[in-house]
Structure 1
Amino acid sequence: MLKIDYKFKDESLLRLAMTHSSYANEHHGTHLQCNERLEFLGDSVLGFVTAGYLFTHYPDLPEGDLTKLRAAVVCEGALDEIAHEIGIPEAIRLGHGEEMGGGRKRASILADATEALLGAIFMDGGIEPARAFVLRFIPHKVEVALAGGAFKDYKTMLQEIVQKNKQETLEYRLAGQSGPDHDKRFKMELLLNSNVFAEGIGKSKKEAEQMAAKKALENMGC
């Protein structure tokens, strides 16, 4: 029994999501379909919901970091972990050869089945139950990725340090911009107690602020 906190109205979608191509191929005489089309759909839903979550909860991360962070939390390894958490290894239907070859433990198969399951939830109930399913797991995956140091929100890190001393103030100020419209560069100044403490340059104001905050942390020895 899958632990998904969702009851399908059309349980054939759930069975389809748990049907690997190897199983469908062994039963080709019954015109049985596999989960690959649902996987395609689920991949898009996963990306959409994750992007929305990151955009809303990390407003100071520039586009490049958001893209990297999304890739980190919806990768095969992360989906494989989710698959084990909800019981997909026990539920997926595999062909005999794939079963004997250890398919129930293969990360690629389990990750694909997780996306297929999400696609099935979306087809059965729409975006809200699909979003609820994704958000059971993604916030924690994001925290792990950020804690790992690969994706640092320098502005938040600096703000947390500055807030320990309530007398100190922190602000960002546009110091200039250059380049053509399609390739602009922004220069932001970081002001600590109204004094310029660091500067940063980026393709957007938010990216430049992140770079200024990173430089400020370096200046502080952090």
Structure 2
Amino acid sequence: MKLSGDLKAFQERLGHRFADPALLVRAVTHASMSSANRDDNQRLEFLGDRVLGLVMAEALLALDTGATEGQLAPRFNALVRKEACADVAREIDLGKVLKLGRSEMISGGRRKMALLGDGIEAVIAAVYLDGGFDAAKAMILRLWGNRLTTVEDDARDAKTALQEWAQARKLSPPKYVQTDRSGPDHAPLFTIEARLENGETSRASAPSKRAAEQEAASTLLRQLETDT
């Protein structure tokens, strides 16, 4: 199988040249684009999540040999949560090469946190199957970069950080309001709006209310940082 020009360029951004290009094509194929002749990336996503977790657990233990489990757990969660995965995906422009069905393309699927986060996990699995654990580990550590050494700043979840921001300015705690729910029952998409007493708001969509709340809080925090 020959890769398209976009996928060849994406392969270079990954830093891994596939012996089996079909694995990469499958990794970037969303379920909305699957068919009897085309597999989607859901099974790869399942595997990639576990590979990412092992790499991050190993790396955190090596970086801080004296850390307790209680210290390591929030760092680990910050590194593997969907928001972090989506950020990495954006940095390598994964959205550009995702193969999406028409409905997902119309609804802005190339920018959705959930699709980007799932996509990078599928890509990790593809590299793991193509080149082995060491290849996947090297790529993950390269793509996550200094997140490993600065993770303490990100270990608090976004909702906690936003609440602390509000408290420091004597504002009421943020409110999270569901503004929309779409998709079938087996694959819902929730849209949540984070609201601050000072009028600042931000919306985000995700497959679960919790993930949408976290993404809305994270987006609002970035807005506030930009404003200041």
Query: In which range does the TM-score fall when normalised by the shorter chain?
Result: 0.5 to 0.7
2:55 aligns with: 49
**Whose radius of gyration is greater, 1 or 2?**
1
Q: Is the 8 A contact 1:50 1:138 kept in 2?
A: no
Q: Give aligned-pair identity as a percent.
A: 33
| Aligned twin of 1:144 | 150
Does residue 145 of structure 2 align to residue 135 of structure 1? no
The equivalent residue for 2:88 is: 82
Contact 1:80 1:108 in 2 (8 A): yes
Look up the match of 1:107: 113
Partner of 1:62: 68
Aligned to 1:212: none
Q: Which consecutive aligned stretches of 4+ in structure 1 deviate over 2 angstroms post-superposition?
A: 142-145, 147-151
Aligned counterpart, 1:120: 126
Q: How far has the Cα of 1:68 moved from its partner?
A: 1.3
- Across the aligned residues of Structure 1 and Structure 2, the Cα RMSD in angstroms comes to 1.6
Report the TM-score when normalising by structure 2.
0.61
| 1:49-68 Cα distance to aligned partner (Å, 9 max, x none) | 10000011111110122111
Q: CA deviation at 1:108?
A: 0.4
Take 2:59 and 2:27, find their aligned partners in 1: how far apart are those partners? 25
- The unaligned stretches of length 5 or more in structure 1 are 152-222
**SS at 2:146 equivalent:** helix
Q: 1: distance between equivalents of 2:155 and 2:53? A: 22
CA shift for structure 1 position 100: 0.1
Contact 1:94–1:103, Cα closer than 8 Å, also in 2: yes
State the distance in 1 between where 2:25 and 2:116 align: 15
Give the deviation of 1:138 after TM superposition: 3.2
CA distance in 2, matches of 1:61, 1:138: 20
TM-score, scaled relative to structure 1:
0.63
Give the aligned length. 147
Equivalent in the alignment of 2:28:
18
SS in 1 for 2:99: coil
